[in-house]
Structure 1
Amino acid sequence: MDESIRAERRGLWQSVMPYLEKESLAAFFLGVSSGFPFAMIAATLTTRLAQDGIEKSTVTAFSLAFLVYNLKFLWAWVVDGVRLPLLGRLGQRVSWMLVIGLCVMAAVVNLALADPGADIVWTATSAVLVGVAGATFDIVIDAYRIETLKPYQLGTGSGMSQYGWRVGAAAAGGVALVVAARYGWQAAYIACAGFALPAMLTALILGEPPRRKVEIARKGVAEMWRSVAGPFVEFFRRNGAWLVLLFILVHKIGDTLANLTFRLLFDDLGFTNDEIALYDVGVGFWALIVGVFVGGIIYARLGLKRSVLISLILMAVSNLSFALLAAAGKTNVGMAAAIGFENFASGYGGVVVVAYFSALCDLRFTAAQYALISAGASIVGRFLTGTTAGSLIETFGYVNFYLLTTVAAVPGIVLFWWMMRSGLVDAAMGTAGEVGEGDARADP
C-alpha cells in the first residue's frame, strides 16, 4: 500500500516537473507578449468604445479587425524563409522576434493616439494595424515555441504559453482599465506597449530554437514558390487532413462568439471598470492557473486525444454560466463564478488543444502551418461576431445569445469524437508531435 502511494506521488510529481523546465518557462513569457495585442483590440477597445457612447453594432463590428489574425497564413512563409539583413546573424526566429516586437509597440502607441469620438474610421484603421502587427508577432512566437519544446513538453509548454497569453491579455486589460480611470485611455494604451518585451528578451536569452529545421535555401523563383506552397501541400497530403481542417474551423465557434461579447454584457449589467478589473483579472487569473495545471496533469495521465475531448465539453458548458449571469443581473458572486469557470475551462483547453495543434505541424514549415491552423481555429467565430453578434444580442437578448453559443459548440465535440474512433487524429499528426523525446500520439 505504501509503495503504491509513493508511486502515485512520483507520477504526480513527474506530471508537474515539465512546468519547471526552461522551455516551458520560456513558453510562458512568449505567451505574455502574444496575448497583449489581442487585448488591446478586444475587450479593452470594446470597453473604450462603449464608454465613448459608440453604438453596439459598431462596437461588435470592430471584431472584424481580428480577421487579420485569420489571414496571417498568407504571409507566414516570409517568417520561415526571408532572412533579415544585419539582425539575421542572430538567427531567423530571434531576428524576426525583435523586429516585429518593435512594430507591435509602435502600432499600440498609434492606437493610443486615435480618438474614437472624433474619427471612428482612423480608430478602426489603427485597430487593424495592431491586428497586423500582433498577428505577425504570433507567427514568430508560435514557431519559436513549437521548435523549442520537445514532444513530451507540448502539453505543459502549450499550457504555459496559454497561461502566459491569458496573463498578458488580462494584465494588459487590467492595467489599461486602472490607468484609463485615472489618466485617460491614451496613457493606458501607451503604458501597455511594454508588454511586447518579455518575448523579445526570451528570444535574446535562449537564442535560436534547437529543433528548427531549414527546408531549403530560398534563392530562385522555384524555391520561393516551394516555400509558399510547400507547407500547404504537405499538410493536405496527410490522411484525413480535410476533416482535421473542418474540426479546426468549427470547434471554437461558440467559444469565440461568447468571449468577444463579455465586456458588452458587463457594461450593460452596470459593472464598473474597477469591478471588471477585480473579477476578470483577479478571479479569472487564479481560475486560469488551476485550469492550466489541471490540464497539464490530465494531458500526462490521459494522453492527447481524451484530454482534448474533455476540454471541448468544458468550453461548451462554460458559455452557460454567462447565460445564467445575464438572467440573474448584476451580482458580484455570479460574475466571479462565471468568469472563474470560463477561465478554468480556457486554461485547461489551452494546454491540450494548443498541444494538439502544435503536434500537427511539420518542423520544416512550423511558422506557416501553425499560422494556418491557428487562423482557422477562430475565423468563423470572429466573422460571425463581427457581422451578427451585436444584432443577435439586441434581437434575442443576452440569455438566448449565450445559449446559442453553447449549441454552436456541439458539432466540434461530435467531430473530434469520431476522429478519435476512426484513428484520424493519429494519422494526421505532424513531425512536431513525433520528433524528439516522447510521442504525442501515444496514450499513457
Structure 2
Amino acid sequence: MSQRVKGWGLFKAALGSRKTAVMLALGFSSGLPFVLLIGTLNAWLGELKVSLATIGVLSWIGLAYAFKFLWSPLVDRARPPLLARLGRRRSWLVLCQVSLAILLWLLALTDPINAIGTFAGLAVLAAFLSATQDVVLDAWRIEIADDVATVELLSAVYQLGNRFAALAGGALALVIAARTGWPLVYMGMGIAMLVLVAATLAAPEALDVPEDRARPLGDHAAPDPRRRAIALAIVGVGWGAAILLLGAFMVEALTPPPPGGKAPSAGDFTKLWGPWIVVMTVIVPALVAAWTNRVRQPTPQAGRRALDHCYRALVLPLAELVDRLRWGAIVVVALILVYRICDSIWAPFAFPFYLDFLGYSNDEVAFASKMFGVLMTIAGVALGGLMFTTLGRMPTMLAGAATAAASNLLYADLATGGAGIDAFAGFFGLYGLGADARMVRLMIAISGENIAGGLAGAAFVGYISSITSRTYSAVQYALLSSLTFLVGALGRAAMGEAIEQIGYAPVFRFTALLGLLAVALVLVEWWRGAPRVRAPEVPPEASLANPVEVPKP
C-alpha cells in the first residue's frame, strides 16, 4: 500500500489488518506520555503558580528523548526479567506501559507545591520510560513490516496515533482539568496507558535476528578492539559527565534552599556549563569519530557484539558523517544544533504564557492551540512540501529559519497588548467576523507560529534526510535528530529565570534574535554547496519513523 494514503483513508487502512490496528494504538501509547510530560504538565504547574524558573529546570526531562540512543543497545539486546516469555519487544513495551501508568498515578497523588523534588523525580523516570518505549516501537515497526503492512504505512499510522494522543493529552486534558482538576486528568491518563497494554499483548512479536546474521556495524570498517574501547570510553565519559551535571543541577535547583540561602541560578549554570556540555556531547564525539576514521581496519571486528552495538550508537553516526563531509561536517552539526532553537527554547512556557500571563481559559487554549493550531501546523507542513518541490531544499530551509524567528515577534507583540496583531486583524477585517477580539489575537499569533513551525519542521526533516547515509540511516538519523533538542533544552531553565526577571516580551525578542543564528548557518551551508555533495536518499522508514519535532504544548 502506498505511503501517500492520508486522512480518512489512512484511518481505514489502519484498521484493515492486525498489525496496522495495533500500530495505531501503539502510536497513541507513544504520544500520550510525551505530551503529558513535555507540554501539559507545564499547564498544571503554571496553574499552581510554580515559578517559571522551576518549570524551566523541570523541562530538562525532555532530554530523555534526546539521549535515548545512549541506552538503545541495551534495550535492543536484553529482555526484562519475568516478562521475557512475551518476546524481546513486547516484554519491554509491557514493562514501559505498566510503569508509565503507575507513574502517572503517582504524579496525580503528589503535590507539586510541597513535594516538587519528588514530583520531578517521578517525571524524570516517566520520561525515561517513555523514551525507552519509543526506542522499542521504532525497532518493532521496522521488524514486523511486510508486503501488506509496509514500513511506510506503519510509520504513517504511527504518526496518526501520535496525533490522536496529542489531542487527548493536550486539548482534552485541558478541558477536563477545567472541570475536575489536574490530578484526576493524570489518573485517567494512567488508566488509558494500562488499557493500551492490551494492544501490546495483541501485537505480533518480531522474530529475533540470529546472532551470526546480525551485523550492527553494517559494512563500516571499525578500529581494532583496543582503540574502539578507547573511543567508546572517551565518548561515554563525556555523555555521562554531561548527564550527571544536568541531573545534579536539577536536583539542587528543585531542592528548597536553607533559611537565608539563595537558590542556584539557572542562567549562571547555562553560561558556565552549557558550552562545556555541548563540547562533551558533540564536539568531543566528533573529534573521536574523526580519529576512528584514521585508525579503523578494513573489515569490521567480529565477536564483540556489545561493543559493536555501543560503537554503532555513540561513534558510528558521526564517524561516517565526518568521513563523508570532512570539514563541512562542522557546518552541518552547527546547523542541526541551532535550527529549531528559537521556538524549542520557549516551548515549555507556552501554557503558562497563555493561561497565567494572558488569562485565557483552559477551553480557549485547548481550541486555539490544540485544535486550530494543529490545522495551522498541517498547513505549514504542506507549504514546506510545496516549496521543496518548486524552490528546492536550501531556499525552503532559509524560509523556515526566517519565519520561525519572525513568528516569535508575534508573541512579543501579544505580550505587550497586541497592537501589531490588532492592526493586521483590522486591515483584513477579521474583527468584523463577530469573533471575540481576544481570541482573534491568540489565534493569529498561534497561526503564525504553527505555520512557521510546520514549514521549518518539514524543511528540517528533508534536510537531515538528505545528508543521512543510506547505509546507516536509522542510527545516524536518530543521533542527528536528537541533537536538535540539546541546545534548546539547555537554555530553557535560564529562559524561565529570564522571563521572571524581565518579562515575556523581551525574551521573545531575544529568541527571535537567536533564530538569526540558524538563518546565518543556512546561508553558509547553502554557500558550501550542500546540494552538490548530497548523500543518497534516506529510506522512508528513517524519516517517517523518527520525525524531528519540537515539543509543543
On whether the aligned pair clears a TM of 0.5, the verdict is yes
- Residue 56 of structure 1 is matched in structure 2 by 52
CA distance 1:77–1:339, change in 2 (3 Å): same
In structure 1, the gaps of 5 or more residues are: 1-13, 437-444
Match of 2:179 among 179, 182, 202: 182
1:104–1:137: 8 Å Cα contact kept in structure 2? no
- Residue 3 of structure 1 is matched in structure 2 by none
1:290–1:344: 8 Å Cα contact kept in structure 2? yes
Match of 2:38 among 34, 39, 42: 42
Deviations 1:117-149 (A, max 9, x none): 331111111111121112222333445567869
Once residues 307 and 200 of structure 1 are traced to their aligned partners in structure 2, the CA distance between those partners, rounded to angstroms, is 43
CA distance 1:92–1:374, change in 2 (3 Å): farther
- Secondary structure of 2:215's counterpart equals coil
- Residue 230 of structure 1 is matched in structure 2 by 312
CA distance 1:15–1:138, change in 2 (3 Å): closer
Match of 1:319 among 408, 413, 417: 408
- Residue 400 of structure 1 is matched in structure 2 by 506
CA distance 1:35–1:434, change in 2 (3 Å): closer
- Letter of the 1:413 counterpart: V
CA distance 1:198–1:322, change in 2 (3 Å): farther
CA distance 1:86–1:47, change in 2 (3 Å): closer
- Residue 169 of structure 1 is matched in structure 2 by 166
- Residue 284 of structure 1 is matched in structure 2 by 373
TM-score (norm 2): 0.63
CA distance 1:246–1:105, change in 2 (3 Å): farther
CA distance 1:185–1:351, change in 2 (3 Å): same
- Residue 379 of structure 1 is matched in structure 2 by 486
Once residues 114 and 51 of structure 1 are traced to their aligned partners in structure 2, the CA distance between those partners, rounded to angstroms, is 15
Alignment of 1:35-434 (within 5 A): 35-82=31-78, 96-143=92-139, 165=162, 167-193=164-190, 194=192, 201=199, 208=206, 214-216=214-216, 222-237=304-319, 238=321, 239-240=324-325, 241-266=329-354, 267-302=356-391, 304-328=393-417, 331-358=438-465, 368-386=475-493, 388-424=494-530, 427=533, 429=535, 432-433=538-539
Structure label with greater radius of gyration: 2
CA distance 1:254–1:435, change in 2 (3 Å): closer
Residue 274 of structure 1 and its aligned partner are, at CA, apart by 1.7
Percent pairwise identity: 30
TM-score (norm 1): 0.77
1:31–1:162: 8 Å Cα contact kept in structure 2? yes
Residue 321 of structure 1 and its aligned partner are, at CA, apart by 1.6
CA distance 1:264–1:163, change in 2 (3 Å): farther
Residue 204 of structure 1 and its aligned partner are, at CA, apart by 6.0
Once residues 196 and 399 of structure 2 are traced to their aligned partners in structure 1, the CA distance between those partners, rounded to angstroms, is 32
Deviations 1:227-257 (A, max 9, x none): 1012443322322344322222111221112
Deviations 1:362-411 (A, max 9, x none): 6776664444223211111111112x112211232211111111111122
1:170–1:280: 8 Å Cα contact kept in structure 2? no
- Higher helix fraction (1 or 2): 1
CA distance 1:346–1:171, change in 2 (3 Å): farther
- Count of equivalent residues: 418
Residue 47 of structure 1 and its aligned partner are, at CA, apart by 1.8
Once residues 197 and 364 of structure 1 are traced to their aligned partners in structure 2, the CA distance between those partners, rounded to angstroms, is 38
CA distance 1:230–1:119, change in 2 (3 Å): same
- Letter of the 1:169 counterpart: A
- Letter of the 1:275 counterpart: E
1:251–1:312: 8 Å Cα contact kept in structure 2? yes
CA distance 1:395–1:418, change in 2 (3 Å): same
Deviations 1:139-162 (A, max 9, x none): 334455678699xx9999988866
Once residues 200 and 140 of structure 1 are traced to their aligned partners in structure 2, the CA distance between those partners, rounded to angstroms, is 17
Once residues 307 and 53 of structure 2 are traced to their aligned partners in structure 1, the CA distance between those partners, rounded to angstroms, is 41
2:405–2:512: 8 Å Cα contact kept in structure 1? yes
2:470–2:539: 8 Å Cα contact kept in structure 1? no
In structure 2, the gaps of 5 or more residues are: 15-19, 208-212, 218-301, 419-436, 543-553
- Secondary structure of 1:409's counterpart equals helix
